[in-house]
Amino acid sequence: MNSKIKKFFDTDIDKVYILLGDYCNMKCKYCFHNNDVMPYIDEKINEDIFPFIETIASRQKSPLNVRFFGGEPLIYFDKMKYIIEKLAHVPNIFFTTITNGKSITQEIVDFFNKYNVMVSVSWDGHKASKEFRGFDCFDTNKNLLLQLKKIEVLATFVNFLKIDDFLSDLKNINNEYFNIHGEIIGFTWAPIDDVGSQKEYLSKAMFNDLYKKSEEVCNRVKDAIRKKHKTPFDLVLIYALYSDLCTIESRDFGTSAERLIAEGSDNPKIYSIDLNGDFYQFHRYPKSSSKSKKLGNIYMHYYAYMQSYLSQNKFAEQCARVGCYNCDINHFCKGPGPHVCEESEKKCCRIRYALYKPIVNLIEWLQHGGIDLHDL
């Protein structure tokens, strides 16, 4: 096919978020649900979601990521288990989940290992986790978490303020994991955005300090890349950059933003559905929140869904308002996202720029040096 028209036919769905429920067993200071009190509701599963997801997977070439989201997904493990067992026979599907690690059990570990579930654990290092989350999963539940065959750490930007402590903690955890599995722990950054509920906390973050700390991390990655004989932790740092690079390598780096296909914004290549089979605009809003926007359900015509989706999509308007299209990190940043309140957008952009600009500089260094992370 002519490469110039190939993009038009790239209609594969990247990810289906399954919204299990809103309830969480923690109250992290920086979470966008921080001020919300979400009840536990035991919803029945609409059996029609299974042929719906299976049909999506069967009609495309790329694998479909079925990702479980909450609240805290492990609280709804019985639902998750049932869904995975119902879809496990589909060859073009893989399963992922996010968790705070508080509710993990031996039964859950064994089940996830059996079905090769990638588990993304939110963790900020020992000290920061206790300070901002009130719980350290790699202290209380370390032995269980280290048994997981597929695991990655999602670290928030608070780690840049305590970066030495965090990297030291991560190195120790990774060494233990490597000794058990002969594999490294995956590692990615998860920026925290101001949705209006934690302004006091974010105002304490010094943007200049964040930029310097981000540069420190990038310099450590450079040192790891330059090494001829790399340690397991060197590979962890390189993996973090590699996962970030994968989010932009399909775009022409350095040109104008192609932001409407980025996760974190309204995204037509990502579906967010609940157990009833209802579509929602954005997976991070609790269903019970007044900001949650229902788009329809799995029984509607696709074009009706897209009409509903486009009528709610304010991302282009938001990008224009905050200046995304002229920003030199627009291929890397996922944009403020619809969960960020308008009065906090500029602050969010400053945080993102402080974090991402050194990483963009690092990627440019790789490109100018002809270094391919795939070969490392």
Q: Are strands 93-99 and 118-122 parallel, antiparallel or unpaired?
A: parallel
The 10s digit of each residue's pLDDT in 134-171 is 899 999 999 999 999 999 998 876 666 678 888 899 99
229 close to 244: Cβ distance less than 8 angstroms: no
Q: Is the pLDDT of residue 84 over 80?
A: yes
Q: Is the pLDDT of residue 204 over 60?
A: no
Residue 325: DSSP 8-state: G
State percent of the chain over pLDDT 70: 76
- Residue 210: pLDDT band with limits 50, 70, 90: confident
- What residues contact residue 51 under an 8 Å CB cut-off, 6+ apart? none
Residue 22: DSSP 8-state: S
Q: Does the CA dihedral 273-345-330-215 come out positive or negative?
A: negative
| Res 79: pLDDT | 97
In the chain, the amino acid numbered 296 is G
Tell me the longest C-alpha to C-alpha distance in the chain: 56
Distance, C-alpha 147 to centroid of its chain: 22
Return d(Cα 245, Cα 374) in angstroms, integer.
10
189 phi/psi in degrees, rounded to 5: -90, 140
Q: Which domains does the chain have, with CATH numbers?
A: 11-270+316-375 (3.20.20.70)
Residue 251: DSSP 8-state: S
Mean pLDDT score, 172-201: 76
9 close to 62: Cβ distance less than 8 angstroms: no
The 10s digit of each residue's pLDDT in 322-334 is 777 778 777 666 6
Tokens of 133: 């989350």
234 close to 305: Cβ distance less than 8 angstroms: no
The 10s digit of each residue's pLDDT in 298-312 is 999 988 988 888 787
The 10s digit of each residue's pLDDT in 5-46 is 776 777 788 899 999 998 889 888 777 666 566 777 788 999
Of 58-62, 90-94, 148-152, 305-309, least confident by mean pLDDT is 305-309
The 10s digit of each residue's pLDDT in 236-274 is 888 877 766 655 544 443 333 343 334 444 567 889 999
- CA distance to 86, 277, 287, per residue, from 48 (Å): 11, 7, 20
343 close to 194: Cβ distance less than 8 angstroms: no
- Residue 175: pLDDT band with limits 50, 70, 90: very high
Return d(Cα 104, Cα 95) in angstroms, integer.
17
- CA distance to 271, 292, 342, 359, per residue, from 319 (Å): 21, 20, 11, 21
3-state DSSP percent of the chain in helix, strand and coil, to 5: 45, 15, 40
Residue 230: DSSP 8-state: -
Which pTM does this prediction carry? Answer: 0.87
